[in-house]
Each structure stands twice: as C-alpha cells, then as structure tokens.
Structure 1
Amino acid sequence: MNETTQLTLVRQKFYRRERRSVPAARAFVRWALEDWRMGPLIEPVLLCVSELATNALRHGVPPGREFDVRVLAGGGLLRIEVHDSGGGRVEAARPDGELEYGRGLLLVGALADRWGVGDREIGKVVWCEFAWPGADQARGS
C-alpha cells in the first residue's frame, strides 16, 4: 500500500484465542464485503482470512490475549489485516516443500495481489491486498 492510498472504509473486530474465532472472522469479513458490494472478491478473500486468522490463533496469540481483524477499502484496494500480540517470524513455505509450515501463506500469495508482515509495538500484523476498482464506489455504512 503506498502512502497516498486512502482506505476510507474500515471495519474492525477482536477475537478470542479459541477455535470458533476463525469461522467468526470469516463471517465478519463476508458481512463487510457484502455490505460494501464487493461480492466477486468474497471467496478468495475468505480463504485468505481463514489462513491469516488460523496462523494468528495457532502461532501469534498468547494465552489470554485476542487477535484483531481489520477490513479496509478505498483507492481501488481492499486490504485485510490480522493483528496479533505474539512474537515469531512469518514465513511462507518454499515451493520445493522444504518447510513443514507456511503452506497457507503460499495460498495467500497466490490469491492476493500482495501480502506482507509489519511490526507493531507488541506483536505483528499480517496483511493481504486485493485490487478492487469498485472500492471507491462501495457503500460506507
């Protein structure tokens, strides 16, 4: 995301460190995309949400803490962010299959236009972006 991109539509929700949070995060993101009339993006975005939320739950959220899912849109872009308070590195598996983890991030990389990891004061944010020219005309309710 470049500095001039205006992500004017924002939805955010926190989830507990429990298994049912992953389907709840998917439902939350589906609701936002439907409300913003971004239906064609729903399936690939929900697959990415599943991967990012599962990774946060399994590797990034210490006991007793939560993770945060944010959906942002504008400037022809849809961005999904999953914030957690855990440490650790985020690394996608290599196509040669050397790593025993990170295969979900290969999927995210294949579906999203871009993805990455950023630092937070405590923890990290893993994000993915999708080009969506209609983001500027989406409803801002």
Structure 2
Amino acid sequence: MNETTRPTPFREAFYRRERRSIPLVRQFVRAALLDWACGVPVDDVLLCVTELATNALVHGVPPGRGFKIELTCGETLRIEVHDSGGGQVRRDAEPVPGAEGGRGLLLVAALADAWGVGERDPGKTVWCEFAVSASKFVGSGPRAHSLP
C-alpha cells in the first residue's frame, strides 16, 4: 500500500436479541462516526440504524440468536444489519392507518441516499447508505463539530 492509499474505515459489532441492544447499537454507530469525522447527518444516520436494528430484533432474529452491524465509511457511509432469521422485507409495504408501527422503512427510504436488502445464508442483510460530505454537520452536543 502506498502512502496516499488509506484503508476504508470499517467496524462491526454483534448484539444479542434484547431490547437493550438498540441503545448500544446507537452508541456504537455514534462513536464510529465521531472517531472517523464521517461527514454525514448523524441524527438521520442514528434514526435509520435504530429502525434497521429494531426490525432485525423484532422480525429477523430467532430466539437465542443475535444480529450484526457493519459500518464502512468511504465515499459513502454504509450500514449493514445482518440477521439470521427468515422473513421478507417488503419495500412497498404501506403502514396500517392508526397502527403504532410499520413506518420504519419509510423513514429509512426518506432519510438515506439508498437502501436495500440482500440475501445471506441464513437470513438477510438490510442496508442503507449516506453520501459523505465534508460540508455536512457532524453530530450534536458537546463533541459535535463542523468538518473543515
């Protein structure tokens, strides 16, 4: 590898099939984005990763198993949520009027630059991507900053 080539930042983590995993996923992603100074809208990313992880937890992870999150930050930030369960992800699903749930993937579609579903054995991978821009605001709170 020459001096001008840097490896693409990558992180992964595995989470158990427990409700308390969702805030841990958010902490993991936020820490990676701040460490990498990844120029993405952090609040939008955290909302999307929350929706994808919650869907995996509720619909995609069989009892006794867990799910994996993979993050890659290059020209795009790619978030992948891998589960080992069956089931289909319906891209065209309309939420039931008055229902408390069923809008998560609509949010992901509205906020992310791209999203999709891939097969794996067993289970599936649901992913979303955000374009990386040095001009986007990174984070909120005391450690937040604008990228130069």
Asked whether the two chains share a fold, i.e. TM above 0.5, the reply is: yes
Q: Give the corresponding residue for 1:128.
A: 128
Structure having the higher Rg: 2
Taking structure 2 as the reference length, the TM-score comes to 0.79
* Runs (5+) with no aligned partner, structure 2: 1-6, 135-148
Report the 3-state secondary structure (helix = DSSP H, G, I; strand = E; otherwise coil) of the residue aligned with 2:121: coil
Contact 1:10 1:72 in 2 (8 A): yes
Q: Output the aligned Cα RMSD.
A: 2.0
Distance 1:89 1:121, change over 3 A: same
Q: Give the corresponding residue for 1:84.
A: 83
Higher helix share: 1
Contact 2:48 2:107 in 1 (8 A): yes
Distance in 1 between residues matched to 2:59 and 2:83, nearest whole Å: 9
2:81 maps to a residue whose letter is: V
Distance 1:63 1:23, change over 3 A: same
Q: How does 1:1-141 map to 2 (within 5 A)?
A: 8-38=8-38, 40-74=40-74, 76-92=75-91, 93-94=93-94, 97-98=95-96, 102-134=102-134
Question: How many residue pairs were aligned?
Answer: 126
Taking structure 1 as the reference length, the TM-score comes to 0.82
Report the 3-state secondary structure (helix = DSSP H, G, I; strand = E; otherwise coil) of the residue aligned with 2:127: strand
Distance in 2 between residues matched to 1:31 and 1:17, nearest whole Å: 22
Contact 2:85 2:124 in 1 (8 A): yes
Contact 1:60 1:86 in 2 (8 A): yes
Report the 3-state secondary structure (helix = DSSP H, G, I; strand = E; otherwise coil) of the residue aligned with 1:130: strand
Identity of counterpart residues, as a percentage? 62
